[in-house]
Amino acid sequence: MNSNTKPIERHPLEPFTPNGAKLLMLGSFPPPHERWSMEFFYPNWINDMWRIVGHIFFGDRHHFEVAGAKKFDQQTIIDFCTERGIAIYDTAREVRRLQGNASDKFLEVVTPTDLRALLAEIPDCHAIVTTGQKATDVIINTFGCTEPTVGSCAEFEIEGRVMRLWRMPSSSRAYPLKLEKKAEFYHKMFREEGVL
């Protein structure tokens, strides 16, 4: 079956852009809805994004989990991101899943996100954080900037605005690095961007 016979899937969420956001986190695209544990970004119970953030900010990887249930506490996460000035979205508006999962390897980006329009909505933002290779590739192709190594950043300019692109390790458990080690990279980024 070639990719053209696969259905086009539109992003199910709107960008999360709290007032005063300083940082924009960009993944590639959400997993299939049956893998969601909440109606927000990084919803897959076996994705460690919110455990990494809990470990860094609260010294507790379980901080954003609902006790006794395999789900994350959506409202606590939204309140936290709003308070800390963290905007979140993905680099694809429409994709084809070449297999039935969220692996970057099997995602075909049909329509990339209009990142210039998204950044115009968050004028205080001066840093983009990518949480996977596909998201990084879209940024590089859109803005023509240099690709940073994992855990570091590279500066680029967009319409007179100096931005930093941070390339973080994926929070997926498929990425072969311990949670604590991933958290070290994220800790440095959050600290340097004034979020921590």
| Apex 37 CA angle, 34 and 42, nearest 5 | 95
The model's confidence at residue 3, banded by pLDDT at 50, 70 and 90, is low
**The model's pTM:** 0.93
Domains defined for the chain, CATH in brackets: 3-192 (3.40.470.10)
CA 161 to mean position of chain CA atoms = 21
Angle separating helix axes 179-192 and 49-58, nearest 10 degrees: 60
pLDDT tops 70 at residue 4: no
Q: What percent of the chain has pLDDT over 70?
A: 95
Distance CA 68, CA 65 (A): 9
What's the CA gap between 16 and 48, in Å, rounded? 19
Q: What does the pLDDT average to over 159-164?
A: 92
Task: Please tell me the predicted confidence (pLDDT) of residue 101.
Answer: 63
Model pLDDT for residues 35-87, shown as the tens digit of each residue: 999 999 999 999 999 999 999 999 999 999 999 999 999 999 999 999 999 99
What was the pLDDT predicted at 2?
A: 53
Alpha-carbon distance 40 to 17, whole Å? 13
Q: Supply the pLDDT for residue 102.
A: 61
Look over the chain and give the mean of its residue pLDDT values, rounded to a whole number. Answer: 93
Whether pLDDT at 1 is above 50: no
Region 91-102: what's the mean pLDDT? 83
Three-state secondary structure of 127-138: EEEECCHHHHHH
**Cβ neighbours, 10 Å, residue 135:** 27
Residue range 134-162: mean pLDDT, rounded: 92
More confident position, 71 or 104:
71
